[in-house]
Amino acid sequence: MEIEKIRIVPLFAEERKTRIIELLHENTKLVVPQLCVYFNVSPATIRNDLRELENEGMLTRTHGGAIRNSKTSFELNYYQKEIENYEKKLAIAKLAIGLVDDGDTIAIDTGTTTLELAKLLWEKKDVTAVVNDIELARYLEKNSSVNIIMIGGNIRRNFHCAVGPIAIRALDGLNVDKAFMATNGISVKKGISTPDINQAEVKKAMLDIASEIIVLCDSTKIGSHAFVKVAPISKVNRLITDNAIDSNDLKEFETAGVEVDIADVVEV
């Protein structure tokens, strides 16, 4: 494992744990001594972090370190996400566009599946879209007549979306008919989740302004969870996924009151 030797700026505990998860995605396994040097903290602090992360189901502790938990959802950068499960994302978007009515005011979360939805909005009339994703806004501006409300804030590098208090304040006070949300993991027990704390806060603000919440998520994310819980499953009105969803998961969502739409995907 090769990681940079030291952090210049000390991190709070939650920030440190988020970075540990990111490092675990990059390196598969981590050892305590190197993490101590990287974060400039004691072995006891690192062991406590690893213990808490294991209790949250984010990793598995080993003698002297930790390894990935296969049920944990790690976050790829935007361009890596674009090529992963593309056929599923496209099929989900084609199903989701049917839920957008002419004249709707909608919020569109940052994500590659939601970007595929945005690419289909050209066929709709008098739609207003509230977005915090630069790429998504740029596409809509060039290729549709959608009225775009771009939320500002701090730009999350490699994910080109606005986060932070400015973004949250911009969302506060708005009202939309529907929010089309992305997620890194979803389950009845853990709700919807994301690896990044700042991203989670913006997602929560976006959920709060919507009359109907629709999650777009391919089946590989179902049953997994990321570091930060965004909302319980009770907040979700509808889930759109693909036909590889496990029948037990489908039954759990329906029992929890979530309407599930399934997109047919033909594997090639």
d(CA 145, CA 138): 12
d(CA 149, CA 105): 10
Q: Give pLDDT, residue 10.
A: 63
Q: E strand or H helix at 223, and its extent?
A: none
Whose CA is closest to 73, among 164, 210, 187?
A: 187
Domain extent listing, the chain: 13-68, 78-263
Q: Give pLDDT, residue 54.
A: 84
CATH top-level class of 13-68: mainly alpha
Q: What are 93-148's pLDDT values in tens digits?
A: 999 999 999 999 999 999 989 999 999 999 999 999 999 999 899 999 999 999 99
**What is the reported pTM?**
0.73
Name the architecture of domain 78-263. 3-Layer(aba) Sandwich (3.40)
Q: Give pLDDT, residue 1.
A: 47
Q: What are 224-268's pLDDT values in tens digits?
A: 988 899 999 999 999 999 999 999 999 999 999 999 999 998 764
63 Cβ contact partners less than 8 Å away, ≥ 6 residues apart:
none
Q: Give pLDDT, residue 44.
A: 94
Q: Which residue has the higher pLDDT, 217 or 8?
A: 217
Q: What are 141-189's pLDDT values in tens digits?
A: 999 999 999 999 999 877 889 999 999 999 998 999 999 999 999 999 9
